[in-house]
Structures are given as C-alpha cells and as structure tokens.
Structure 1
Amino acid sequence: MTCIGKVFMQRKDFAKAIELQSGAYEIAKLSDAKLEMTASLLGLAETYVEMGDRTSAISTYRIAEKIAEEIGAKNELSNAYKGLASSYAELKDYDNAYLYQTRLTGIKDTLFVAANNRKFQALQFDYELDKREGQIELLTTDKKLQDAIIQKQKFVKNAFIAGFILIMLVAFQTLRSYFRKVRTNKLLDKQKVEIENLVLNILPAEVATELRTEGSATPRSYESVSVLFTDFKGFTQIAGGLAPKDLVAELNDFFMAFDDITVRNNLEKIKTIGDAYMCAGGIPSTNDTHPFDTVNAGLEMQE
C-alpha cells in the first residue's frame, strides 16, 4: 500500500496517497511491524512535502525518526533526517535544519563505513573460500586413492547388510501378518459381543437367541399381556429447574431402578420415551401371573 501511495503521490492525487499510506501505517501498527510502520510514515511525510505542507511533514518525519531510532533502522533514519533538514530549511528554522543536516552527515558516514566493512568481509570471505578450495583439491586426490580401497570393503559389507535386512524384512512381514490377524480376530470377537449385548438390550432374550441362531425371528401372538406405562408427574416443571446434564442423570437413576423392578417382577422392558417408561408382562414367555406382576411393579415404582 505504501508503494501504491507513492504512485498516487507522483500523479498528484494526494488525497488517495494519504489514504493508502495512512492505511498501511495502521495495518503495520496492528502487528507491531515497526520497520513497515517507519516506511509508511516516510512515504506519508513525503506526500506532505509534495503538497507543500511542511508542518505536517515535520511531525510525521519526527514520528518515523523515533521508531527508526528504536529499532536501529539506519537507512530509514537517514531518510527521516534528510526530510527534516529539508523541511526545517524551507520553514527557515535554520537551527533545526543544521541539527538534522549534521545528524544526516553522521549517519551517512556510519552507513558508508558499514558498507565498506561488508565489502571487505565479502572479499575476505572470497579469499578464504579460494584458499580452502585449493586445500580441498589437494585432499581430494589422496581421498580418491583411499576411497578405492574403502569402496571394495563397503561392497562386501553392504552385501552382508542387504542379505541380513532382507531376512529381517521377511521375518517382520510374517510377524506383522500374524499379529494383524490376531488383532482382527480380537476386534471381531469384541464387535460380536457388543452386537449381541445390543440385541439383548432391545429384544427379549428368547427372541435374540432365535435371531442369532436362525437368522430371523418368528412373529408371535399373545392372548393376554399386561402393559405398564409410567410418567413422572410435573415433569415439565421439574425439567425447567434442572440443567440438561443433571436432568439426564436424574432420569437415568430412576430408569435403572425401574429396570431392577421390572426384572424382579418377571416383566419385559419395552422402551423409554422421554420421561416415560414402558414394560409388559406375559411376554415373551406366557404366564398367568402377569396382571399381578404388573401391579406389584407399578406399586414399587411409585415408592
């Protein structure tokens, strides 16, 4: 955005340039990207200079100067000094103009020395590199002779290792297949037990056994059965005062107690529907006591 802002500045579209450069500064500020913040401020100050607004330019350059000093960005600091020296001179504030021109000269000298140091270090690095390459070339000749001997030894060693690895791979694959088969069988056995338990939870044991052994269950008709259906009085009001988790836990406690009562009274659980519990007597095995069993179970559930 800063670069695009400079393009609009060159086109004399100062409003658009200021909008883009200010936006770039705010974006950089959000991520605390201080180098980018400095670059945006320098671009904004330059736009103010082009507009002839030296006062705004100076205040913007000063903010950029502070951030550049904080992060040690010498190139950006040099640009800030240059802009401040020029702007103060335009406003005939020669004391500040001289001050920043002096700072600009000082930092240029620092940058010049740093650049020369980098060049010297690069030359020194190239020299050391050439020197080392010469040493490496001499060592390479000796190494080739040693490599010929070592290569023969490696061939024998590698052949032995390859044979050993091949044997180990075959053994590993055999063991892996065996353990995979064992795990698969255990998983199938576990799933079989889970399925059988699930069937027993939703079907009477007699029907579940027939379904497992025959593959299907024969429909049955009963001349006389007793059905017990429970419902909690005032459940809506109770539910309104409990958290969903607590409500489910409360119902689960009651339904587990009802399961025990059902089994104890020779009844068969049919299903639960919300807060309702349904069971029946006289199924799947017929009997003559189911009316009494159902009444007894109902009385126990009330208690």
Structure 2
Amino acid sequence: MKNLVSLFLCFLLAHLALAQIGDESNKIRSQADSIKELYYSSGGENLDYLASFMVYEANPDSLLKYGEIYLEKAQETAQEYHISSAYNMIGYAYKYKGNLSKALEYFFESLKYAQSSGSMKAQGRSYVTIADTYSASENRQNAVSYYRKSIEILEQESDSTALGSAIFNAGDEYLKMGKLDSALLYVERAQLIFQKVDFELGQAYCLGNLGMIFAEYGDKLTSEKRINQAIVILEKYEEYYPISSYLNYLSNIYLEKRDLQSALAYAQRSLDLASKYGLKDQISEANLLLSHIYEALNNSSKALEFYKKHIQYRDSVNNIQAVQEMANLRTDYEVSQKQAEVDLLESAATIASLRAKRQTLLLYGVLVMLILVALLAVGSFRRFRFEKETKKIIEEEKNRSEQLLLNILPEEIADELKVHGKVKAHRFNSVTVLFTDFKSFSSMAEEISPEKLVESIDYYFQEFDRITDKYGLEKIKTIGDSYMCAGGLPTESERNPFNVVQAAQEMMEFTKSPKPEGIVQFEMRIGIHTGPIVAGIVGVKKWQYDIWGDTVNIASRMESNSEEGKINISGKTYEIIKEEFDCEYRGSIEIKNRGIWDMYFLK
C-alpha cells in the first residue's frame, strides 16, 4: 500500500503540464508527432528534437531503440549533456522493463557525463532517477541518500516543481522506513514549495502523505482531516485512483491498530468510489481489505464473500486482454461466415436476373443462353474451389494458432484458458526449481558482436530446451543469459527432484563439451532447490506462465552461491536425492535475506 504514493509523484511534472492545458492528451500526442516529423525532416541530426519527442514515448522497447540511436549520435558529436540525457533515456527503458540493475548502470553513466558537462540541472535529474530506482528496489538508505543529493543540486536551480518532487519523494522514503519525524519534516517542506508555485495537484499528494503520517502517529482526527483535504483537490482533477488508494491505506492502518470499525468505514468508502469509476485494481484491493476486516470481526461468511470478489476482479484485470483477443478471433470468424452468406445471396440474385433476361431475350437464340450457362458454371466452380482453399487456409491458421499457444503455455493451462477465459493460480507443495548462469557474460557481451552473442546463447538454450523436454520439466523463462525451469508442474510428480538433477547434469556436460566454430565457449554454474510454489499466468498482453514463492528466490541464491562448472543444491533437495546421487557437503552458508542454508555440490 505504501509503495503506491511514490508511483504517483513520478508523474508530477506531467500532471503539471496537464493541469495547465486541461484534458488534452490528444494535443500532447500530436505535439510529440510534430516534433518527431521535425526530427526526421532535419535528416535525423537534430538531437534536441530527438530528446524532446522521446519524453512522450511510453513503450519501453521503442524508448530503448531511440535511446540507443540518441546515444550513438551524441557520442559522435561529443556533446556531454546529450550523452548524459541518452544514458538517462536508456535507463528509463530498462526500468520500465523491470530490469532495475541494468537501469542503475545507465543512470550512473548519465550522472558521470552530467557532472562532466557541468549542468546542475542534468546532475539533479540523474540523482533523482538513481534515487527512484533504489526506491523501486526497496533499498531505502540509498534512495534517501540520492534524494538528498538531488535536493542539494536542485536548490541551486530555479525549477521549484522538480525540487518539491525530490523533497516529497525523500519524505515518502522516510515514511516507508518508519522515520515519521523526518517524513513529516520533508513532506511539509514540499507542501510549502508547491503552494508557492500554485501546484495544486502536488499539494494534494502532500496532504495525502501527511494524512498517512498522522495515521501512523495515531492522530486519527488530523489524519482524516488531511486525507479529506487531499480528496477534495483530487476530485477536482478527477484523480480517483489515488483517492481510493489513500482510503485503502487508512483502512489498512486502522486494521493494524485493531480499530476495526474505522478500518471498515474507510475500506467501504474506497470500494464505493472505485466501483463508481470502474477502478478494478482498487476494487480488488478494497475487497481484500474488507475480507481481512470481516475475518478479524469473526464474520466468516462476509470475509469469504469479499475475498471471492477480490479474486474475481484480480483475475478480470489479469485476463481481460486475453478475453478480448479471443473475442476478436471469434468475431472475425463470424463476420467471414456472414460474408459468405451474403455472397451466396448475391449469387442467387444474379441467377434470378439471368433467368429473367433469358425469358425476355429467347428470341436472341439458344446460343446466347448456352454461353451464359457455361459462364455461370465456370464461376460456380471457381467459387467452390476458392471456398475450399479458404477453408483449408483457415484450418491451417487455426492449427498454427493452437501450436503457438502451446509453445507459450503448458497444455493444461492453455485448455483451461480456452474453456474458462481465465486461469486460476495453483499451489504446488513440492516443485524443484533450476537456475543456470554463464560466467563473465556481461564482459564477453562487450567484446563480441551482438549477432555472435545471440547465436551462441540460442545454441545453448536450444539444447537446454531439448533436455527439459526429455525429463518432463517445464521451461519457465530466460532472463538474459539465465535459464530457468522447474519439475513437478503443471502435473505434480514425486520424481521431479531426480529428473531436475539429471537434466542439470546433461546441461553441464553439454556446456563443457567442445563447440563449433563461431560459438562462444561459456562456463556455467547451476543452482537447484525444492519447495512449495504458486504458479499461474501473468500479464494481459503477452501471456507468460510463471512461478512465485520463496522456493524460487532460494533456488536463485543456490545458483549465485555456486561455482563455475558445478551444480549447487540445497539441503532440502539433497535429503530427497541423496540415495541415488553422490554429493559433496559444502557446509552451512549464509544466504542474503534468507538465513543460513546447508549446501551440497553434485559430484
């Protein structure tokens, strides 16, 4: 809940522009297109145009593509300010993709060139982006440190809105850390800045955060007053999503303090607002809060009722795109069928017209009639052949679509999606998760061509796919040079730890074997752990079958604590497979954020 507010402030500058021109997003998009046309008409050489229209680019893939072009051109001209800006854009692309470590790498490069350029504005911007990224990864200490550096820089500039935003974000980090006095000091300072520049929407977010701070202090009256002041402003701008979020936050605070009646009132108010404006995320969140509250009130039937609604709205958000795409396919099919009916009716009308003409023009002779009949026969035959070929094409495309779906999802999951239009998350009590990672991949990637690197990774992963299929494992995904698979899902199997270990052995043997010319010889380490997970589909645009749970995190730690050329397994997996596989005890090793674990190398 606390993480929601920092998301809102990432868009303060955009809101400022919108507040000045009203609801004119189409004009903004048109302005972006106009700048893009100016850039291309200049021969693609004007970096100011390129940087300007990239600000409006929401697609991370497009942002990454333009960012790389921007960086290349900026480096050619040796303009340090533009180089800093280009690194910043690429960092945002990786951040939007969820690759925070990669984003930080580019943001620090941006900072380096911003400092070389001497631009205080660019330096302040870089510090904010670094702080925002640490905040997203929940590294509170670093986030606060870089927010404070950005504040020191921005205090020397004239951009009060940027300064206020940085101060607000620092205060929000202190709130997340539980340092209420510092949080209060920073948010009140941001509020004063927004008041001076008459940035009403920024003031609303400050009031909302002040409400949360006073709620943490236990000052119910002041908390409600600040939240309600924020709501009045947010309603003016029709910002209903943050209103509902603030109400849910207050409900959660009072639930933790066991003030159940106050918690119930705020959650119900949030649900009413979210339902009125169709905010499905907030409807789901409010229903979950109401479920917890009624559970605390020992009202099991009400708790179950609201929990079911929470699941219903959560799944509807996750699967709405899938349902729409399937509906579009059905609509296209029905339209083609209706068009065939229309064509047949038109053919019948043509035949009737020909017959009428034949009766009136019999005097022109039998020869003309035979010619017309022959033409009609040829047309009908051609139509029959066309329809037959079309039906064959449709059937082939249907089979191809089915196969593509099975390449993305397990067969059982795909069947469930086709039947019900959505997929429920499933819990598995014993699944074995495997992670691989190539040694020195990042450094090699800088030394060899991208084409050779992709060809090499594909060569390895194709063989890993074959081994995964051989042992009945489920490939989950690849993340850069890391390959992730699991045994024991979507169909549970008691032998899944043994199958995963055998697959790991074959993968390691293949990696160590000689490679054809042109293929990079990588060294690899593997980590394996067994435990419970939750599996299901994430995303509404590009489906992905994924797994979650502490088991996944521990398996990843097993890989990072392994050594090149070795397979590292957890003590839990070892207890299952020790009768069939020879292992070497490594001792008890501390894993970051997971305590001390026994580890074994597979001999």
* Bucket of the pairwise TM-score, normalised by the shorter protein: 0.3 to 0.5
More strand by share: 2
Larger Rg: 1
Using CA pairs below 8 Å that are at least 6 residues apart, which structure has the higher relative contact order? 1
